[in-house]
Amino acid sequence: MDGTGVMTEAGVIPAPGGGSEAQAALHRVFGYETFRGDQEVIIEHVVAGGDAVVLMPTGGGKSLCYQIPALVRPGTGVVVSPLIALMQDQVDALRALGVRAGFVNSTQDFDERRVVEAEFLAGELDLLYLAPERLRLESTLDLLSRGKISVFAIDEAHCVSQWGHDFRPDYLALSVLGERWPDVPRIALTATATHSTHQEITQRLNMPGARHFVASFDRPNIQYRIVPKADPRKQLLAFLREEHQGDAGIVYCLSRNSVEKTAEFLTRNGVEAVPYHAGLDAGTRAAHQARFLREDGLVVVATIAFGMGIDKPDVRFVAHLDLPKSIEGYYQETGRAGRDGLPSTAWMAYGLNDVVQQRKLIQSGEGDEAFRRRAQAHLDAMLALCETARCRRGGLLSYFGQDPEPGGCGNCDTCLVPPETWDGTVAAQKVLSTVWRLDRERRQKFGALQIVDILLGRRTAKVIQFDHDQLSVFGIGEELTEGEWRGVIRQLLAQSLLAVEGEYGTLVLTEASGAVLGREREVPLRKEPPKPTVARSAASKGERSAKAAVELAPELLPVFEALRSWRAAQAREQGVPAYVIFHDATLREIAAARPKSVAELGTISGVGEKKLLTYGEGVLAVLAGLDGGAGPVPDAAPDPEWPEPADEPEPEPEGWA
């Protein structure tokens, strides 16, 4: 369809004067006033028939970059996406905007597929979503060649990268698109920012002539925080109660077992939470994912199997109870928070055991030496981010080759509460010489616990058994607490001044240790905070409910809440996620502007023509009928103790629901 033919009914929303067709579509279909960042240039380039490779962070607005060209150019836009489980929602969301969208994948039966195929051939689709494995089939290619295609969009394009975290072999077959349809522009999009992935995408998709658009990877609305791990579930609960009561969020754990336990723990303590991992059957996974997308304020506790393509805009926090394997992973996972641009938190609890466990995993894992070295390098970068005394955002951005703000970002824990550093050289020497002495005995190898007991001069059974109270280092470390010694060992491991060996996590010296023992190298360390820091953002203070409405004046909260419950009812009735009706950001604007007429409502960002026609009267009725206040938030039950399980980490995701 062309950009001006989108709407047939009364032109309630005037098109801005003198704009392009793309601008008209932005305004009428999506209800947005202006393009963001590079959107406009990208769209113009593709509309004119050019190929594009787009690197843009999650929430940056990639979808419009192919949806608008598909609306403006004649023919159907074909979107290749691995996210089969999300296609229905994506198509529902587009249909709610008045866009003629459909999908073809393995979840459909023959008849459903035939209907969509017929619509495509008849030129009745603006957008057609396809799973990559479909494009391997000659029958699919044949179908496509019998219709008219406006643009090929290759979403989640990093899936073509064999070294990346989401490799999908079917993506390799997409290089044929350019050969078979030389006149159809292609646009490849990803939120993965590394240089090597970028190059691989361009090569493997065979797009040498493409124009490249690399956006800033900063996510200014996400507050990054990494706290020392003590009792992670309780810390998580406190974090949720203090800052994210009633908010939707994702909690990442390493193992299936701890996913289950954490979800149970949260539920018992009054936080509604569901588990998600590859060990659950496909039906349960799909049901939990659907609940997360559809309900307001549900928490998903998950392994890394969860998350790619989840485009729920109002995820208010992402919490990590275990250390991710790389900065790429951390960035992707935390990036699922705050797509709508509203304040969100990336919170992680991190401690000595994380370092030991991850180092051990690499050593005992599969793969050759080169693979191990790469894994080690990824982990080292992640650890450096955890241990830094400087701006976390700065660390993230420089990892992706971007220049950070020189003065810090002002919205991460290290900027909000700068950590103290101290000269840990002597402490490091004490640890290293204890390790050295134990190593010299060669009778048995010991882990961090024993080292700490020896330094603190504790006559435990194991200390007595091995005569460790006879060592010259016994009791030489009484100036620090147990927690501080664990912090020293953790930081030495993170800096590779200590290493982990074997399945019991034995501590051993490294080549670099010698320089510390020989006093040739100083060891600056981060001070361990006595209690986990709670660096609250300004936005998180005050209100107990509806954190999404943070920027609203308190008297407007009841209005927002009323709109939200109206939206929830609509969503239930239609069986679609709430954000398909309106985003939180849009409801917030409506609450603040209190429009009195359909025309006024039409000026709100996110209210396009179709939505105005469908919901305009409903929204105005909610506003007109308002007089109540926000409902009370029930107090959660007290938190019982939970023992730490010993368990296996989730393997890399092998598929999706």
Task: Using DSSP, state whether 624 is helix, strand or coil.
Answer: helix
DSSP state of 579: H
C-alpha to C-alpha distances, 409 to 250, 404, 413, nearest whole angstrom = 24, 8, 10
Binding window for ligand ADP (CB under 6 A); candidates: 4-12, 31-39, 131-139, 491-499? 31-39
Provide the β-strand partners of residue 80. Answer: 130, 154
Nearest distance, CB of residue 316 and ligand ADP, angstroms? 14
The contact mask relative to ligand ADP for 569-598 (x = CB under 6 A, - = no) is --------------x---------------
Of 174 and 409, nearer to Zn ion (C-beta) is 409
The contact mask relative to ligand ADP for 63-102 (x = CB under 6 A, - = no) is xx--------------------------------------
Binding window for Zn ion (CB under 5 A); candidates: 194-202, 402-410, 495-503, 558-566? 402-410
Task: Find which of ligand ADP, Zn ion, none residue 323 binds, CB within 5 to 8 Å per kind.
Answer: none
β-pairing verdict for 248-252 and 127-130: unpaired
Question: Counting contacts by CB under 6 A, is residue 32 touching ligand ADP?
Answer: yes
β-pairing verdict for 76-80 and 149-154: parallel
Question: Counting contacts by CB under 6 A, is residue 307 touching ligand ADP?
Answer: no
Binding window for ligand ADP (CB under 6 A); candidates: 8-16, 29-37, 127-135, 489-497? 29-37
In contact, 258 and 322? CB cutoff 8 Å: yes
C-alpha to C-alpha distances, 291 to 130, 261, 309, nearest whole angstrom = 24, 19, 16
Of 58 and 192, nearer to ligand ADP (C-beta) is 58
| Side-chain-side CA neighbours of residue 387 (13 Å) | 24
Nearest distance, CB of residue 310 and ligand ADP, angstroms? 10
Compute the residue count for the chain: 657
Task: Find which of ligand ADP, Zn ion, none residue 59 binds, CB within 5 to 8 Å per kind.
Answer: ligand ADP
Provide the 10 A C-beta neighbour count for residue 108. 15
Question: Counting contacts by CB under 5 A, is residue 346 touching Zn ion?
Answer: no
Question: Counting contacts by CB under 6 A, is residue 35 touching ligand ADP?
Answer: yes
- Residue type at 472 in one-letter notation: S
- Euclidean distance between CA atoms 143 and 161, whole angstroms: 27
- Quote the radius of gyration of the chain (alpha carbons, Å): 27
Task: Find which of Zn ion, ligand ADP, none residue 391 binds, CB within 5 to 8 Å per kind.
Answer: Zn ion
Task: Find which of ligand ADP, Zn ion, none residue 340 binds, CB within 5 to 8 Å per kind.
Answer: ligand ADP
The contact mask relative to ligand ADP for 601-620 (x = CB under 6 A, - = no) is ----x---------------
Closest by Cα among 471, 392, 12 to 227: 392
Of 39 and 334, nearer to ligand ADP (C-beta) is 39
- Residue type at 86 in one-letter notation: L
The contact mask relative to Zn ion for 404-443 (x = CB under 5 A, - = no) is ----xx--x--x----------------------------
Provide the β-strand partners of residue 104. Answer: 130
Binding window for ligand ADP (CB under 6 A); candidates: 61-69, 81-89, 174-182, 282-290? 61-69
Instruction: Enumerate residues 6+ apart whose C-beta is below 8 A from 305.
Output: 276, 277, 278, 650, 653, 656
Question: Counting contacts by CB under 6 A, is residue 60 touching ligand ADP?
Answer: yes
First-to-last alpha carbon distance for the chain, in angstroms, is 33
Pick the binder of ligand ADP from 313, 351, 404, 487 (CB under 6 A): 313
Instruction: Enumerate residues 6+ apart whose C-beta is below 8 A from 585.
Output: 313, 340, 341, 342, 605, 606
Task: Find which of ligand ADP, Zn ion, none residue 558 binds, CB within 5 to 8 Å per kind.
Answer: none
Question: Counting contacts by CB under 6 A, is residue 340 touching ligand ADP?
Answer: yes
Of 404 and 616, nearer to Zn ion (C-beta) is 404
Pick the binder of ligand ADP from 316, 336, 339, 486 (CB under 6 A): 339
- Euclidean distance between CA atoms 588 and 556, whole angstroms: 9
Question: Counting contacts by CB under 6 A, is residue 61 touching ligand ADP?
Answer: yes
Pick the binder of ligand ADP from 6, 22, 25, 56 (CB under 6 A): 56
**Percentages (nearest 5) of helix, strand, coil residues in the chain:** 45, 10, 40
Of 438 and 604, nearer to ligand ADP (C-beta) is 604
β-pairing verdict for 186-190 and 211-214: unpaired
Nearest 5°: CA angle at 454, between 448 and 455?
A: 90
Handedness of CA 632, 636, 637, 638 (dihedral sign): negative
Question: Counting contacts by CB under 6 A, is residue 318 touching ligand ADP?
Answer: no
Residues within the interface to ligand ADP (CB under 6 A): 32, 35-36, 39, 56, 58-64, 311, 313, 339-340, 583, 605
Residues within the interface to Zn ion (CB under 5 A): 391, 393, 408-409, 412, 415
